[in-house]
Structure 1
C-alpha cells in the first residue's frame, strides 16, 4: 500500500498552491492505549488503498501516549469522491517494536469528499473511536474478547503477565505462550544441599531450587560387617530403614578398614600385612621383619607371614633359584630348582628353561635344528622350515673312484670341512665352500702295496694329520698330491695308528695317537707336533688301543683291550713324560674290546665295545648303560646324555634321544663317525659309502 500524506499542521490543506480536496481523520481510543494506530483510505471507484502508521505509545519507555491521533488525507489525482476510511488499533509488540503488535480493533466509515473543501480551508472531518480492554494497562489487550494476547489482564498482578514478560518459576503462564514454568528444568535430577538426590522445583522468590528431601544421620558401613568406619556420621537420604551399607549412629564406629568385612574389632589377628582386629596395628605378635636364619644361607633373612596367615617363615629376599646344568649349555633343568643365596651345588646355575638337560643343543634359547628334536623347548620339532626338502634323513653317497674302498676315519674342521681316510691309501676332503668331496689322487704306498689309513684329525685350517699302517704318519693339505710328507714312528715299524686327537697350541699343534703294533697284542701311544721329524712311540705291552678322544689335553681318554680280552681305558696326564703320561683307569667294567671313545664334557664321556656295550663316565666312574641294542659297535658320537649316536659293523647308526633307542641309516658296515652338532653328522664305512645327517649339505652361497 502507498502511505497517506499526513496533514500536520492541518492548515497545510488550505495553504497549498494547488490544493487538493481532503479529509481530517481523528482517531481516539477507549479501554486501552494502542501502541500504534494504522489509518487506511480506499478509493470507492478503483479500490486503490493508501495507509499510514502512527506510533501511539512506546511501552519500552516511560513516555506518554499520543491522544488523539489526527491524520490528514489528501485525495490523490484520479480518485473519485467516495472513500472508505479505516482505523486499526495494534497492541504492544513482545519486542516493543513500534507497530509490530497484534491488531486488536478496527473501525471503518465511508464518506464523499466535497469538491472545493480545501479552497475554503475547512476540510471535511471524520472521527473514529477504537475500543478494547487492557485492564492492567500493560499494553496488551485481554484475550477474553478474542483479539488480544494478554492471558491475565487483571490488576497489578496481571500487568506482570503478558507476552513480553519473562517466565518465572511460579506455576503461572507469565509469557502467555500456553505453558507454565517452561524452560526452567523443573523435574530435572539434581543433588540437594544435604547431598541427597532430588529434582528441581520452584522455590521462594520464584527461583528454581533443588528441593531438599527428608534425611537422617548415619554411619558408613561399606563392607556391611556391622561396624561403621571411624569417620563422622553422614547424611542418609531416607527417614525409614537404613540401606545395607549404612548404620544408625548408635552402632559402633570402630572399623579401621571399611572395605574388608573380615577386619573389625573382635576378630583373630592373622599374619597377613593387615590390622585384622583394629588393635595395635598389623600382624602384632608375629615378629614380622625381625632377622632369622635358615638353610638358604642368606645374610639378610627376616621373618615373613606364611601363605595362610597362621604363622611366619624365614624369607631370604636375595635367594635365587638354582638349576642343575648337566649338559653345560648354560640352561638348567627347570623341574629341579633349589632356592639358595650361594650356589648350592657345583654345576648349578641361575637360568632354567632346559627341557632336555642331557643335550646341549636343546634349551629355551637354542635355535631350532633339523634333527627331529624340540631344540627350543616350545613343544614343536623342526619348525620354521629348518629342514631342507625331504629331511631329516641319513643321506648316503659313494665317495671316490673305488666302490670297494672302505672309509675308516673321519674328521670335521672349520665351518663345514670334512676329511675322510680309508683303505688303499684313500683320502678325500670336502672343503667348507664345496658340497662334494674331492679325492686326492697321489700315491700312498710302500713299494707297490697301497696302505691302509685308519685314522685322521684335521686342524681348523684344514690340514689333515693321518695315521697309517707300516709305522708312518702323514700330513696332507686339501691340495696335496702324494702322501707326503710321511713321518716315521720310531720303535714301531709295523705300527697301525688307529686313533688320533689333536689340539691347537700357541706354537702349532699337539697330536696324541694310539694304536697297535702290527698284529701283536701290544699297543702304543705317541705324541706328535705335526712336523716331519720321526715320532717316538711308547710301548703299551699287552694292550691294544683302538680309539682316542678328548676336549683338551687334560680331558683325554684312549680305549682298547688287554691280552686277556678285558676292557682298558687310559687317561692322559699333560706335561708328564712317557710312559707315565697315560694312566690306566681303575674300576672299568669289562665289556670286552673297546673300539671308540667320545668325551662330551668334564663330567660326561662314552666308550663303546665290539660286544655291543656302551660305557658312561660321569666325571669319576665308568658304568655300563643297560639295555642298548645288540651289535658290533665301531664308533660313538655324543652331544649329551640324551643325544648319542653309535656306528655299527652291521651297517646301522643307533640313536638315543633320551627316552628310546632307534636304528637308522641301515646300509653297509660303518666304522667312523664325527659331527659338530645334531644337524651335522658324518658316518663312513664300506663300499665307499659316506652318510650325512640330516641331508647332504649344499654348497654355501658365494
Structure 2
C-alpha cells in the first residue's frame, strides 16, 4: 500500500511506503483507493469543499504499472478556511493523466476534528486483453475497439487486413499499397486514365484491374475475345476488330484478288479488294483453245485457265478459232455461224436406204469405225458390214444382237440378248463369227471398247439388264481369250455405257424406286473398285436412261424416257430443253449421238425423225421411212441411223 498526502489548498504528495499511519496529533481523512484487474496509467484524487466549490485540490496518485490490482492510500489534512464537508473523487485514466477517464468514484466525507477518518473508493475498468487500452463501454469508455485481441488497440500498426488495428478511422490510415481504378461501367475493369487511389479494400465504384479502354461501355474490357466487327476495340488490346476478325490483315478473296480483311457485318469479316476480277476460260476438250467459262477472278481459278475465249464449243476439238469451216453442223471457226461459206452444204441430203437384208430386218445396234464404214446388228442373227455403198451380210453369226462396237481396224464386237459376245473382221463375213459366253445370263445392252497402243489387246466394257458391268480383254490374234469379269453389280437395269477410257466411263439405265423405274447413272472409279451413283437432280423423272455419250473428261450427255436429256459438265448435271413432237407428245429418246455441245442427234419413239439439238433448241435433221433404234458415226460429217425395215440413213457430206 502506498501513502500520499493531499494538503488542502496546497497539494502535497509524499510517498511513505505501505504504512497506514498518519502524522501524530493531527486530524486527517484517509482515502483508500482500490482497483482490480486492470493497470491504470494514471490515478488522480480530487477534494472539493461541499460548501465552497472554489476550495478544491487534486493530485496524481503514483501507481505500479506491473500490478493488475492494488490499493493506494491518500491522506487529506486540514487547512484553514475550508469547511469540514468534503467531496472526494478518485479517477483512473487510460494512457496518461490526460487520457480518457476509464473509472471514477466519488464520496462525501466529514473531515474529523480529531483523530483520523477512513474513506474507501473502489474503481472498476475493463481491459480483458491486457494491452493497456480499455474497452469502449459505458459509463467510462476506453479507446480499445476490440478488447479481446491484444494486437488491436490505439497506437498499434495499422495493416491492410480488414481489421481496424489502431482503432482509428477503420483502415483509412493503413499504409495503402493496393491501387484501385474507377470503374464507371461496372465491368470489373477500371479506366487507366482515371484517378487512381490506394486503399486496403475496394472503394465503391473502383476495381483492382485497370486496362479498360472504354469505361462507359460494360461490354468493352480486357480479358475477352473480340466479339463483334464494328471498328471498336472490344478487348482493349489496342487493335480494333482483332482476334477472329483480323481486320486490316492482308488477304485474298475467293476470286484470287489481293485485299485486306474488313467488317462484313457485326459477326464476320471478309476480304475486301479494289481489284476487278476478269473472266477466265479453260480448255476442256483438249484442242488447245479455251472456251469453257470457269468464272471471274484476279488469278487463274485453275491451272491452264486463260483470259482469252477462243473456243465456241468445248465439247469438240473440231470447233475453235483458227479452223476452217466444214460441212458438219458445227461452227468450226467460231464466227457465230454454222456451215457458212461451204458450197452446197445446206442442200446436202441424207442417204436413206431400206430393206437391207429384207423388209422384216430390225437393227438395234450400229458400230462405225471409219468414214462410211461400219456394221449393223440386230434381231434374228442379222449382221451387215457396210463399206461406202456396198453392203455385205454376215452369214453365220447367230444371236439376238443388242449392242455393237468396232475397233479402228474394222473388227466388230457384238453383245447379245442371251449374254454372249461375238466378234469378226471385215472380209470374214462368210465365216462363222467367234462367239464367247459372258458367264452370265441377261442381255448385253451396251458395249464400248479401248485399243491398246502397244499390243493387240482390246479392252471391252459392257452392261447388262441385271446391273452388271463386265470387262473383257480380247487378244486379237491370240490362241486363247480371257473370260469376261464382273467389275461391279448394281441394283439397276443398265442400258448403255460409254467413255474415253476406263476412268471416264458412265453406265446408265434405271433403278426401281417405289415400284417405278427411275433414271440412274454410275461413274467408274478413278482409283479403287467402287462405282459412284451420280446425283442427277431429276427426282421427278421416271423411266430409263437409254444412251450415254462422253465427249471429254468433263463433259457427257445422257438421254432417256420422257425426252429426258441431261448434260454433265464438270460434275454438275443440268436438264436441257425437252424435245416435243407433232401433236405436243413427249417421246422417249432411244439413242443419242453427240459431237459437241452444239451438235447432238437423237432418235425417238413417237416419230421416225432424226432430231438435232444445237445447244439451245431442237429441230428435225431428217425423216426416216421407218422407226429408228440406234445412232452412230465416225464424226460430225458422218452420221448413221438405223432401225426397223432394215433401214439405214447416213449423212456424209
Normalising by structure 2, what TM-score?
0.51
Structure 2 partner of 1:442: 395
The correspondence for 2:637, drawn from 675, 679, 682, is 679
How far residue 386 of structure 1 moved from its aligned partner, in angstroms, is 5.3
User: 1:643 and 1:478, CA in 2 relative to 1: closer, same or farther beyond 3 A?
Assistant: same
Q: Which residue of 1 is the match for residue 183 of structure 2?
A: none
Q: After superposition, where does 1:445-456 map in structure 2 within 5 Å?
A: 445=398, 451-456=399-404
Compared with structure 1, are the counterparts of its residues 551 and 502 closer, same or farther at alpha carbon in structure 2 (3 Å cutoff)? same
Tell me the equivalent position of 1:502. Answer: 449
User: Could you tell me whether the CA contact under 8 Å between 2:604 and 2:628 is conserved in 1?
Assistant: yes
The 10-residue stretch of structure 1 (371-380 or 457-466) with the greater mean CA deviation from structure 2: 371-380
Question: 2:469 is matched with which residue: 505, 525, 528?
Answer: 525
Distance 1:465 1:355, change over 3 A: closer
The CA deviation string for residues 313-352 of structure 1, in whole angstroms up to 9 with x for no partner, is: 9999xx9985344555433349999685x53445623543
| 1:583 equivalent in structure 2 | 532
In the alignment, is the contact (CA less than 8 A) between 1:489 and 1:535 conserved in 2?
yes
Question: Given the superposition, is the C-alpha separation of residues 491 and 538 from structure 1 closer, same or farther in structure 2, using an over 3 Å criterion?
Answer: farther
Contiguous gaps of at least 5 residues in structure 1? 1-291, 300-312, 446-450, 517-521, 696-702
1:515 aligns with 2:470: no
> What is the match of residue 518 of structure 2?
566
1:642 aligns with 2:594: no
**For residues 381 and 542 of structure 1, what CA distance do their matches in structure 2 show?**
43
TM-score, normalised via structure 1 length: 0.47
1:525 and 1:358 mapped to 2: Cα distance?
26
Cα RMSD, aligned residues only = 3.5
2:375 corresponds to which of 409, 419, 422: 419
| Pair 1:462 & 2:410 matched | yes
Deviation at 1:484, TM superposition (A): 2.1
Q: 1:585, 1:334 → 2: CA distance?
A: 22
Structure 1 distance, partners of 2:274, 2:518, is: 56
Alpha-carbon shift at residue 372 of structure 1 (Å): 4.3
Whether the aligned pair in 1 keeps the contact of 2:498 and 2:548 (CA below 8 Å) is yes
Asked if the contact 2:328–2:637 (Cα under 8 Å) also holds between the matched residues in 1, the reply is: yes
Q: Are the aligned partners of 1:391 and 1:694 in contact in 2 as well (CA < 8 Å)? A: no
Q: Is the 8 A contact 1:525 1:537 kept in 2?
A: yes
**CA contact 2:352–2:649 (8 Å) conserved in 1:** yes
Cα distance in 2 between the residues matched to 1:315 and 1:584: 41
Partner of 1:404: 360
**Residue aligning to 1:363:** 320
- 2:495 equivalent in structure 1: 546
Indicate conservation of the 8 Å contact 2:329/2:599, yes or no.
no
Q: Aligned pair 1:615/2:566, yes or no?
A: yes
- The question of whether the paired residues in 2 share the 8 Å contact of 1:487 and 1:533 is answered with no
Query: Structure 1 pair 314/537, CA: closer, same or farther in 2 (3 Å)?
Result: closer
Matches of 1:556 and 1:623 in 2, distance apart? 19
Residue 436 of structure 2 corresponds to 487
Q: Secondary structure at the match of 1:475?
A: strand
Shift in CA distance, 527/351, structure 1 to aligned 2, threshold 3 Å: same
Cα offset for 1:456? 0.8
Q: Partners in 2 of 1:391 and 1:455 — Cα distance?
A: 33
User: What residue in structure 2 maps to residue 251 of structure 1?
Assistant: none
Tell me, in whole angstroms, the C-alpha distance in 2 between the residues paired with 1:619 and 1:352: 18
How many residues are paired up?
369
* Structure 1 residues 620 and 412: CA distance shift in structure 2, 3 A: same
* 1:83-102 matched pairs, under 5 angstroms: none
**TM superposition shift of 1:478:** 0.9
